[in-house]
Amino acid sequence: MSNPQDLIEEWSGRMTFMDDPSRNIKVILIIRRVDASSVFGEMEVDPYQGPMVTRRFRGTLNGNELWIGRWQLTVSRRRMTGHKLRQQIGQPW
């Protein structure tokens, strides 16, 4: 990523379940601040079933790779793609 400050905005998209592509959830990232390799903002997740969940986050930016918890995102111009690493039982997100 040539200018990390370009991340500051609202990003939205859908996450599709690998085991069932017919199931997907809406995800919104609101990036408020980038300070060196730290990225700060909120993540809103509209799950397949249940109420919208909003959480603040501090992510780590390394080149064009953004890590937010177990989410690994690759930033390419105006697009993010990625995946979530397998969740351990008892761990949030």
For the chain, 93 residues long, the average pLDDT of each consecutive 10-residue run is 89 81 85 96 86 94 92 87 64 48
The predicted structure's pLDDT at residue 86? 62
The predicted structure's pLDDT at residue 81? 85
Is the Cβ–Cβ distance between 93 and 86 less than 8 Å? no
The predicted structure's pLDDT at residue 9? 94
Is the Cβ–Cβ distance between 28 and 44 less than 8 Å? yes
The predicted structure's pLDDT at residue 44? 93
